[in-house]
Amino acid sequence: MTGVPASAAGGSSGAQGAPGSAATSGAAPDLSGPQNAGPQATGAEESGAEDFGAESGGADKAGAGHIGGENAGGGSIGAEDSGSGDGERPVRGGRKIAAAAVNQASLWNVANLLTMLRLLLVPGFVALMLAGGGYDPAWRSLAWAAFAIAMITDLFDGHLARTYNLVTDFGKIADPIADKAIMGAALICLSSLGDLPWWVTVVILGRELGITLLRFLVIRYGVIPASRGGKLKTLTQGVAVGMYVLALTGWLATLRFWVMAAAVVLTVVTGLDYVRQAIVLRRQGIAERAAALEETEA
């Protein structure tokens, strides 16, 4: 044997493990190529993910890989957001789309169930209120319990809907109806039984219906927010009506008169404040439209 073959010489010069073409030519492998990026990193240069290894490169071109690859342009969920194929971050728009889908299908959520319960309590309350001629303390106590449950659910359903994103079109319509239905039923029953003057019932119900109508009239210009005075009015009305539903005597009967007087005052004052807000909101809306029209014509 006079010498070593060229192919053997190339293999002994450190080219083991390189592709066959490099071994036969005797040339050293190019260590700067994509081979160091990890197995199956084809196309990593195009996706900018040379260091992320398998299934990361090339997904941008193939549109395949893990779930969501066809939309994100990467090998896994959120590849477009994170710039990698590790799938640790969800797509930003995905959360909003998923939340919208849940809201559209969540009619039977806790907030709406509480609103429905309040609606169902209205005829039950009236039946209990008028049972036994309307003056039986036992039946009046049961009627008070139904009224109290309705008032408590009124405090919680709106809060739950806003906190946990359970607001639905049904809730927007049914919640104010349920509020006014239970309060109106209690006031009418009390006035029918002679426990409460009719003018008090007319003032309270007239204010509630009038403000609701006013909100609809100015909704094109904006929304009138609920004020602290309005919330205090609702609480005072609930306490006063609840005290009248119970068959109270003595100093408690005197106390309920003053609580109801405070409720009537708050009802009138907050009603006038809502009217003022509606007028201001309408003027601002008209002024903004006029200014926008002038800019368009100019």
pLDDT tens-digit profile of 235-294? 999 999 999 999 888 999 999 999 999 999 999 999 999 999 999 999 998 898 888 888
Among 157-161, 185-189, 249-253, 274-278, which stretch is predicted with the lowest mean pLDDT? Answer: 157-161
Q: Residue 83's pLDDT band (boundaries 50, 70, 90)?
A: very low
What are the tokens at 188?
A: 């009418």
What's the pLDDT at 77? Answer: 35
Q: Is residue 208 over pLDDT 60?
A: yes
What's the pLDDT at 31? Answer: 42
Q: What is the CB neighbour count within 10 angstroms for residue 223?
A: 9
What's the pLDDT at 247? Answer: 83
Q: pLDDT tens, 24-78?
A: 334 444 444 434 434 343 333 333 333 333 333 333 433 333 333 333 333 333 3
pTM (two decimals): 0.61
CA 216-181-224 angle, to 5 degrees, is 25
What's the pLDDT at 106? Answer: 65
11: number of CA atoms within 13 Å, CB side? 8
Q: Is residue 151 over pLDDT 70?
A: yes
What's the pLDDT at 193? Answer: 94
- The secondary structure element, H or E, covering residue 231 is helix 228-245
Highest mean pLDDT among 195-199, 218-222, 232-236, 277-281: 195-199
What's the pLDDT at 226? Answer: 73
Taking residues 204-230, what's their average pLDDT? 86
